[in-house]
Chains A and B, each alone.
Chain A
Amino acid sequence: MEYFIQQLVNGITLGSIYGLIAIGYTMVYGIIGMINFAHGDIFMIGAFVALISFIIFGLTGVALPIILLLVLLIAMLFTACYGWTVEKLAYKPLRGSFRLAPLISALGMSIVLQNYVQVAQGARVKPMQPLISGGLEFFKNSEFIVTVSYLQIFIVILTIILMGIFTYLITKTDLGRAQRACEQDRTMTALLGINVDRTISITFIIGSSLASVAGMMFVLYYGVIDFYIGFLAGIKAFTAAVLGGIGSLPGAMLGGLLIGLIETFWAGYVSLEYKDVAAFSVLIVVLIFFPTGFLGKPDIEKV
């Protein structure tokens, strides 16, 4: 039982990270109907920017909460630049092209970003000393002590706060309304005087910022990154987006949590080596039985 609770806590933490990345996938899919294959690498770049800022601020000796806030903002800003540029260079010229063109362009972009970071930052793994240590312990009398670290609490609370802001942004502001309108009918939205290109750019900026927050959490949580983390995390987050129903924002978060839990429980109870297989198998099974995910709208193809 205690072991189960421990796995649950770990799974929710991991799920928060996946969920934040998944939002980027689902938003882009909703608005332009393509899988942004490079999104995982945007997450990786976010993690690198966060790592670099942590090292710089670590030398200054500022208080920890201020460091966290500054790193968060810096990572969001610089990573958003990457998201914006990738959209401008690789996807915008292909709008209206045949279906697979943007996907292949995204694949190329993903290879470019990965190798660019490898060249610029080196291929070795980058370890970082833990910044937030300690935690709360439960069930002290039993054999297995459940530990909830402060870091895990921080990650989950930050995710909840971001989700709150984000939901407000999408449901209550003009920007959110424009975005939802673009999802439904881009031509009509343009006719009504909304700048569609700008809305799409902003979608990429928001998605990349959230991915960079996930990147920062990843650095703090695992304490080690390399240029390749984006690939696996990206695929799993995409699985999460599909699981929740691609195009649906609460679905992305739900899917993220589910994938985090499935992966953690699989690693805890079944086999550690095959934990990535679990995520991929879930993807295949979900697509076969619930092609629209749990919270997705049914996809009707019109002739």
Chain B
Amino acid sequence: MEKKDIIQSFKDSLFTGLIALALFGPIVGLRTASKGEGLFITPQWGVVFLLVGLCIIGRFLINLNSARKTEITFFSKFTSKFSAITEDKAKHFAITAILFAAVFPFLPFTDRYFMDVAIMILTYIMLGWGLNIVVGLAGLLDLGYVAFYAVGAYSYALIATTFGWSFWICLPLAGVFAAFFGILLGFPVLRLRGDYLAIVTLGFGEIIRIILINWYEVTNGPDGITGIPRPSFFGLPFKRSPDEGETSFHLFFNLEYSTMHRIIFLYYLILVLALITNYFTLKIRKLPVGRAWEALREDEIACKSLGVNPTNTKLTAFAIGAMFGGFAGSFFATRQAFISPESFTFIESAIIVAIVVLGGMGSQTGVVLASIFLIGITEMFRDLEQYRMIAFGGAMVLIMVFKPKGILANRKPTILMHGDKK
């Protein structure tokens, strides 16, 4: 490397520092805090100088690195290797993962906390797989998926608390309601192009949330719905002391009562629901409608010319995706026994979209990896609550910049005209 280059990159780093100073100076350096009446400013110049220093040094190192023409960064090397491995061994991975998931509750180190995290990860995997039908297969960016999750949760909660029907009757009903809302929204808006559709679905998600907050008579407003019935094991409730004429789970199987029974049951419930979603997706990809989704994603005009009705095809994807969102929603309601509009904010939609996109749109394995990665990391950094979402958003930007197709890009068509020529 020449001296000229070093001087050049040094100047460039100083310019970066100047910009960083302008960025962090007012927002980080001058923290507003209310004291009594009105606001006062607490300067925090130390943090600003630290951040600016980091930017200058970081920029300088990047410049040195790119001057050496090492274009493949550590990051892209890592991910390409990673995708090469998993792409080949996806099948083995899937079987191992399912076996591991099946025995997970009985492993020696598994405790209540691990089970809760595992249930949460599985819920997101199921939501990710549901949204993958819409985003990954049909290529429709839906930023309001949480609306269907909310519809599922609320319809389950309302039906179960009003009529007292069991989980297994309410679950399909919740799915049907969610699918109905999917059609209701999808019918008018699916003619729109990609990014318009994204914004409209986002708006729809917000509409549903505002209605949930304000429609007191039905949804009980911001207070939410409490006392949602827990699921039972084929009619056997998980209660310490069952009501008269009832046998509870632990009495029936002659076990000692433990709250873990219910947790383990919930775990298997969501595992089965998620696997059903996955199985369904894998099968429907091979049916004409699944093929039409993928074809539409790749080229809408070509599809129209070949006689595929884009609106109806997209509508099925939307409705089926919504239905799985509804299933996941009713699981959420029965697990929490309490739901309120707070659980269904835009950020949830963003997380689910991030899972699908990070995993590589259309890849089922990718969704699993991305869910474990995102939710796992989030759990690990519980204590750093505030910085969690910054890291989350930053990861979204970085992955898009370095690997726009996600960790496991799977845009390969499932069928080719003359077979897969390798």
Interface hit among B28-36, B159-167, B233-241 = B28-36
B22 within 8 A of A: yes
A126→B32 contact, CB < 8 A: yes
A110→B393 contact, CB < 8 A: yes
B207→A277 contact, CB < 8 A: yes
A94→B404 contact, CB < 8 A: yes
A51 and B404 contact, Cβ closer than 8 Å, known pairs A107-B353, A108-B397, A291-B192: no
The residue that A35 contacts in the complex, of B23, B38, B199, with Cβ under 8 A, is B199
Contact with B along A129-170 (1 / 0, CB 8 A): 100000000000000000000000000000000000000000
CA distance A7 to B142 in the complex (A): 35
B188 within 8 A of A: yes
Nearest CB in chain B to that of A74: its residue:
B26
A273 and B400 contact, Cβ closer than 8 Å, known pairs A52-B32, A284-B189: no
A184 within 8 A of B: no
Shortest distance in angstroms between A11's beta carbon and chain B's nearest beta carbon? 20
B396→A108 contact, CB < 8 A: yes
The residue that A34 contacts in the complex, of B141, B195, B387, with Cβ under 8 A, is B195
CA distance A170 to B210 in the complex (A): 39
CA distance A53 to B26 in the complex (A): 9
Contact with A along B183-224 (1 / 0, CB 8 A): 000001101111110111011101100110110000000000
A99→B39 contact, CB < 8 A: no
Interface hit among A12-20, A77-85, A173-181, A189-197 = A77-85
A98→B404 contact, CB < 8 A: yes
A277→B199 contact, CB < 8 A: no
B195→A103 contact, CB < 8 A: yes
The residue that B389 contacts in the complex, of A82, A84, A90, A111, with Cβ under 8 A, is A111
A101 and B400 contact, Cβ closer than 8 Å, known pairs A35-B195, A119-B390: yes
B32→A122 contact, CB < 8 A: yes
B308 within 8 A of A: no
Nearest CB in chain B to that of A113: its residue:
B393
CA distance A261 to B218 in the complex (A): 30
Question: Which residues of B lie under 8 Å from residue A103 when comparing CB positions?
Answer: 141, 194-195, 198
B32→A89 contact, CB < 8 A: no
User: Which residues of B94-108 have CB atoms within 8 Å of chain A's CB atoms?
Assistant: none
CA distance A96 to B55 in the complex (A): 27
On chain A, which size bracket covers the interface?
35 or more
The residue that B390 contacts in the complex, of A112, A128, A231, with Cβ under 8 A, is A112
CA distance A102 to B397 in the complex (A): 9
B292 within 8 A of A: no
Shortest distance in angstroms between A105's beta carbon and chain B's nearest beta carbon? 4
Question: Which residues of A lie under 8 Å from residue B194 when comparing CB positions?
Answer: 99-100, 103
CA distance A301 to B213 in the complex (A): 41
The residue that A55 contacts in the complex, of B41, B188, B191, B346, with Cβ under 8 A, is B41
B49 within 8 A of A: no
Question: Which residues of B lie under 8 Å from residue A2 when comparing CB positions?
Answer: none
A107→B207 contact, CB < 8 A: no
A238 within 8 A of B: yes
B401 within 8 A of A: yes
The residue that B395 contacts in the complex, of A108, A110, A114, with Cβ under 8 A, is A108
Contact with A along B253-277 (1 / 0, CB 8 A): 0000000000000000000000000
B19→A85 contact, CB < 8 A: yes
A198 within 8 A of B: no
Question: Which residues of A lie under 8 Å from residue B143 when comparing CB positions?
Answer: 107
B353→A120 contact, CB < 8 A: no
The residue that B41 contacts in the complex, of A56, A81, A94, with Cβ under 8 A, is A56
B346→A283 contact, CB < 8 A: no
CA distance A280 to B23 in the complex (A): 32
B381 within 8 A of A: no
CA distance A148 to B218 in the complex (A): 40
Shortest distance in angstroms between B23's beta carbon and chain A's nearest beta carbon? 6
Contact with A along B35-54 (1 / 0, CB 8 A): 00011110000000000000
CA distance A121 to B386 in the complex (A): 12
A111→B392 contact, CB < 8 A: yes
Question: Which residues of A lie under 8 Å from residue B39 when comparing CB positions?
Answer: 51, 55, 126-128
CA distance A280 to B152 in the complex (A): 22
Question: Which residues of A lie under 8 Å from residue B393 when comparing CB positions?
Answer: 107-115
A120 and B27 contact, Cβ closer than 8 Å, known pairs A52-B32, A287-B200: yes
Given contacts A99-B194, A120-B27, A235-B206, 8 further A-B contacts (CB under 8 A): A81-B22, A105-B401, A107-B143, A107-B393, A114-B393, A242-B196, A273-B214, A274-B214
**What are 22 A-B contacts defined by CB distance under 8 Å?**
A48-B26, A52-B32, A55-B41, A78-B26, A81-B23, A94-B400, A97-B404, A100-B141, A100-B194, A105-B401, A109-B393, A115-B393, A118-B386, A120-B31, A126-B39, A273-B213, A276-B210, A277-B211, A280-B203, A287-B200, A299-B193, A301-B301
The 8 closest A-B pairs by CB, nearest first: A108-B396, A111-B393, A112-B393, A280-B203, A105-B400, A108-B397, A115-B389, A273-B214
Chain B residues in the interface with A (C-beta under 8 A): 19, 22-23, 25-28, 30-34, 38-41, 141, 143, 188-189, 191-196, 198-200, 202-204, 206-207, 210-211, 213-214, 301, 346-347, 350, 353-354, 357, 386-387, 389-390, 392-397, 400-401, 404-405
